[in-house]
Amino acid sequence: MSYFESRLRVNTSNFKEIEQKLHFCKLLGIQNVIVELENNGEKMRSDLKRRIEEIPNINVKYRTNINPKNLESLIKKLKGIGQSSNIIVIESVDKKIQIQAAKDSRVDVISFSEPAVLKTIFPGVISLTKQNHSFIEFSLAPIIVKNKSLQSKNLRNLYRGVQLANKLNANYIISGNFDDIYSLRHPRALISVCHTLLGISLLRAKNSFSKNVVSLLNRVQMRQDKNFIELGVKLINRGEI
């Protein structure tokens, strides 16, 4: 089974840092990494992507996180992004933005990684992601902090969010989302954390780091098809009839 670290944040202006983080992942045995570009939707330079992909023995995919301030900003940032080969992720504390993003077939993931956003999760947005075959994201970084009071608060919120997602049978992925490379852990270790602290079954926890991520990547590939309308719906060219 292939496991993924689904959110590795990198500074696109510092290749040395990117290289260091990816090499550290390899040392930990993490072979599949989804790199988040710290540029809020701007396109990645092709030369930088080439240099990253020249790093051997690691499978790198990309995600673009968009943090819109309002609905107008969301619509503007999503314009023309449907053909992107990156995973398109929306992260916002605004429930109206979450709802609109969950309705949009160009959006692959609604992220509840950050503590402030996690507190806003509600059944409506989960139901919409299920209808649109997109994904919810949770992250473990907020519960691995030194401040014990904050850690306890974040754990309660994450537990509540995950249990709600399980109750509604949501499609979700779980990432580490660690800033410090020395906090990085192999997904197998994080699966144990999910099972022990969050009450997620082992199978569901494993899927959130593997099978569900593969399904997410397949969704992105399908979205790039110019004849794609929504999952299960495709325009048929005359020559295909």
pLDDT tens digit sequence for 200-237 = 999 999 999 999 999 999 999 998 776 655 555 555 55
Share of the chain above pLDDT 90, in %: 78
Cα–Cα distances (Å) from 238 to 22, 80, 228, in that order, read: 46, 26, 15
Round to whole Å and give the CA distance between 15 and 220: 26
Round to whole Å and give the CA distance between 130 and 114: 21
Q: Report whether pLDDT(104) > 90.
A: yes
Taking residues 116-140, report their average pLDDT: 97
Burial of 215 (0-12, 13-18, 19+ CB in 10 A): middle
The answer to whether the beta carbons of residues 65 and 89 sit under 8 Å apart is yes
**Phi/psi of residue 90, nearest 5 degrees:** -110, 135
pLDDT band at residue 127 under the 50/70/90 scheme: very high
pTM metric for this prediction: 0.90
Domain extents in the chain:
4-225
Taking residues 67-93, report their average pLDDT: 91
The answer to whether the beta carbons of residues 139 and 172 sit under 8 Å apart is no
**Phi/psi of residue 162, nearest 5 degrees:** -65, -40
Q: Report whether pLDDT(33) > 90.
A: yes
Q: Given strand 4-10, what is the order of strands in its sheet?
A: 4-10, 32-37, 59-66, 87-90, 109-111, 135-139, 172-175
Q: What angle do CA 133, 179, 45 make, to 5 degrees?
A: 70
Cα–Cα distances (Å) from 154 to 11, 116, 187, 228, 230, in that order, read: 26, 9, 20, 39, 35
The answer to whether the beta carbons of residues 149 and 122 sit under 8 Å apart is no
Cα–Cα distances (Å) from 218 to 44, 154, 187, 196, in that order, read: 21, 31, 20, 30
Each residue's pLDDT tens digit, 162-185: 999 999 999 999 999 998 899 999
DSSP-based three-state secondary structure for 140: coil
User: Selecting from 3.20.20.140, 3.40.720.10, 3.30.70.1520, 3.40.50.300, what CATH number does the domain 4-225 have?
Assistant: 3.20.20.140
